[in-house]
Amino acid sequence: MKAIVYTQYGPSNVLQLKEVAKPVPKEYEILIRIKATAVNSGDVRLRKADPFAVRFFFGLRKPKINILGSVFSGEVESVGAEVKRFKVGDQVFGHTDMHFGAYAEYICVPEDSSLALKPSTISHNEAASIPFGGVAALHFLKKAMIKENQKVLIVGASGAVGSAAVQLAKSYGAIVTAVCSTANIDLVKSIGADKVIDYTKEDFTQLGEIYDVIFDAVNTISVSRSLKLLRKNGTMILSAAGLSETFQGLWAGLSSHRKVLTGLIHHKADDIIFLKGLVEAKKFKPVIDRTFPLQQIGEAHAYVEQGHKKGNVAIEV
């Protein structure tokens, strides 16, 4: 099968289209013919080994996993002898968690992994754009125990995680203020934001509003500045925190009456099935900025690396 392989960390041209062995499903696995994947901010970090700490987990001198890509949508081509939940021909979408391998024509995944039937109302490109931002936003909003009528501030509302967080917070009945640039105001309004702050014109930390939940999806403002906008017993979500913000957040959580949520998320079937239900209920719409063919994945990486994408960048396989 064809796959995008990288054998060294570096710029987008380390990604090479190669012929590799097609995987064979084990007894509890399904083989999926991938129709679409996506380039996420996490893939760019792994390709570049940025931050350096990536190397401690994914290979010190060169990557131990040679095919990136964590999201996929496609068709079940064959199943292992013990598989019960899926059958040949099912249209499915999901996330590989830390296993990767979705920049390829085929992938094998356990049937109980982060996997669900694709809603028939959306394309494979759209389905592949859901799990990365969707599951991250869902994980943190559930942990924050978000409730109806709570005031929620989402910083970075136009990215993959942010655009999912806006829609999920709305689906829980929250009142959402989204922070984005001028170019993305229409987008964040179209996915449900009640109020929008254009960060190129206004400093949201100076507007005097207090929130029940602050979801910082892009890590562009200091923890101490944004904490001042959080009510007592409120929750701060730092989904994009680096090491220093994680420690600041943990300290803030211990020293103030505020809950701070951070850390890496794990992908499980329940969350993807929940998101499928929301799509079917028309409460969640995947946001796609651009689509590239698999052969041009280097260009897609270079675009995502600029940090200005709107929602997701889909890859047609």
Ligand X SMILES: NC(=O)c1ccc[n+]([C@@H]2O[C@H](COP(=O)([O-])OP(=O)(O)OC[C@H]3O[C@@H](n4cnc5c(N)ncnc54)[C@H](OP(=O)(O)O)[C@@H]3O)[C@@H](O)[C@H]2O)c1
Contacts for 102 with CB less than 8 Å, ≥ 6 apart = 34, 37, 67, 68, 69, 70, 71, 72, 96
- The token pair that represents 15 in the structure block: 């990604």
Q: Does 114 bind ligand X (CB under 6 A)?
A: no
**What is the spatial distance between Cα 26 and Cα 273, in angstroms, rounded to a whole number?**
23
Q: How far is the CB of 287 from ligand X (least distance, A)?
A: 9
Residue nearer to ligand X on the CB measure, 119 or 159? 159
Q: Does 217 bind ligand X (CB under 6 A)?
A: yes
> Which amino acid would we find at residue 149?
N
DSSP 13: G
Q: Does 287 bind ligand X (CB under 6 A)?
A: no
Query: Interface with ligand X by CB under 6 A: which range of 20-28, 77-85, 212-220, 293-301?
Result: 212-220
Q: Does 184 bind ligand X (CB under 6 A)?
A: yes
Q: Total residues contacting ligand X (rule CB under 6 A)?
A: 29
Could you tell me how many residues make up the chain? 317
E strand segments, the chain: 2-5, 16-19, 29-39, 71-79, 91-95, 106-110, 115-117, 151-155, 175-180, 195-198, 211-216, 230-238, 259-261, 288-293, 312-316
Sign of CA dihedral 22, 23, 29, 34: negative
Q: Does 155 bind ligand X (CB under 6 A)?
A: yes
Q: Does 134 bind ligand X (CB under 6 A)?
A: no
Q: Does 180 bind ligand X (CB under 6 A)?
A: yes
Q: Does 40 bind ligand X (CB under 6 A)?
A: yes
Query: Interface with ligand X by CB under 6 A: which range of 4-12, 15-23, 36-44, 293-301?
Result: 36-44
**Residues of the shown chain interacting with ligand X in the complex, contacts defined by CB under 6 A:** 40-42, 133, 136, 155-156, 158-162, 179-181, 183-184, 199, 217-218, 220, 239-240, 264-265, 307-310
